[in-house]
Structure 1
Amino acid sequence: MISKIFKSVAVFIAAISLTSCGFYSLSGVSIPDNVKTFQVDYFGYTATQVEVGIERDFTIVLQDLIQDQTSLSLVTQNGDYLYQGEITRFYISPITATADNRASQNRLTIDINVRFTNNKDEEKSFEKPYSFYYDYPANTQLQNAVLDTALEVIFDQITQEIYNDTLTNW
């Protein structure tokens, strides 16, 4: 008798867990069932200081993050979710000084303006600036491996914030 009740309860729980409530959630991701695709347009570059190619790199990092952490399909047009924007600032500044008033550390700051369009629910669309930085020794040139590391740290942080703002309910 108890095993029959247990089996009935187990079947009921399994049935409930398999039915859809209109959303699916994986690692905090909350995407409506009617959203299947996303589009990341090539991010522009409006910053006064030029660093060639980083807008392409940022676009790819954002695409990869969404592809890797959701089941959405990347499309080149008519995406259910549309990401657009531009890098608005690439700025290097000294942040700490030595006793003889020379910089001992520099900071690279990158600002990115993002326009998110939710083509399934226009009320969830927004435009928002994102910014992050990377500190490095002042006696080091911001090139090659140092620049690659700086961009990785900054882009990882900014794309994760964009992901959280557009794909999670936190």
Structure 2
Amino acid sequence: MKKTIYILIFAFCFLANSCKYYNFTGTGKIDANTYQVNYFQNNAPLVEPGIERTFTLELQEIIQGQTNLNLVSQGGDLLYEGEIVDYRITPMTATADQRAAQNRLTITIMVRFTNNKKEEDNFEKRFSFFHDYPANEQMAGSRLTTALDEIFERITQDVFNESLAKW
């Protein structure tokens, strides 16, 4: 019994010590203390008002929720900036009478990531995702909200993984 307690104490100490190198979000050890997310402008040919603010806030929230970094408005150790470069609705499938049965909303975002503590981590990359919906529905109201939630959740996670998790 005493031997089991020693093994458990040793295992706990080992696990607690290893958390400074790796955590459950997969970010490992981050040398930064602060991050900054600049406003993402909407430069897409087809403009949906307000999505740039929504994306900017969601990117801030995912980093805040999955790291111990502090959000700052300027001078951050990590800097995220970019723009929405494409907002596109395209027909995906057709019915027998040549009408669209399903449409796809695709959003593409250009992200420039700057790590002021470790320049080799810097990148400029496009991230894109889509949402399919029935062609007889309009991309407005709750349909638009659902689509943006799905698309931005995926894109922000991809940006997080590329910049901090290195997946």
* TM-score w.r.t. length of structure 1: 0.88
Identity among equivalent positions (%) equals 51
- 8 Å CA contact 2:58–2:156 kept in 1: the answer is yes
1:29 alignment counterpart = 27
| 1:90 maps to which of 87, 106, 110 | 87
Superposition pairs of residues 66-105 of structure 1, within 5 angstroms: 66-105=63-102
- 8 Å CA contact 1:31–1:167 kept in 2: the answer is no
Per-residue CA shift, 1:89-130, capped at 9, x if unaligned?
000111111101011111111000000001110011000001
CA shift at 1:55, angstroms?
0.3
Give, in whole Å, the separation in 1 of the partners of 2:21 and 2:71. Answer: 19
CA shift at 1:148, angstroms?
0.3
Q: Secondary structure at the match of 1:158?
A: helix
CA shift at 1:70, angstroms?
1.0
Divergent runs of 4+, >3 A: 9-24
- The aligned amino acid for 2:77 is D
Structure 1 unmatched runs, 5+:
none
Q: Secondary structure at the match of 1:39?
A: strand
Structure 2 unmatched runs, 5+:
none
2:138 alignment counterpart = 141
Is the radius of gyration larger for structure 1 or structure 2? 1
- The aligned amino acid for 1:119 is N
* TM-score w.r.t. length of structure 2: 0.89
Give, in whole Å, the separation in 1 of the partners of 2:72 and 2:57. Answer: 13
Give, in whole Å, the separation in 2 of the partners of 1:154 and 1:17. Answer: 36
1:44 alignment counterpart = 41
- 8 Å CA contact 1:30–1:169 kept in 2: the answer is no
- 8 Å CA contact 1:110–1:133 kept in 2: the answer is yes
Greater Cα shift, 102-111 or 17-26: 17-26
| 2:62 maps to which of 61, 65, 81 | 65
CA shift at 1:155, angstroms?
0.3
2:148 alignment counterpart = 151
Q: Secondary structure at the match of 2:108?
A: strand
Distance 1:3 1:131, change over 3 A: same
1:130 alignment counterpart = 127
Aligned length: 167
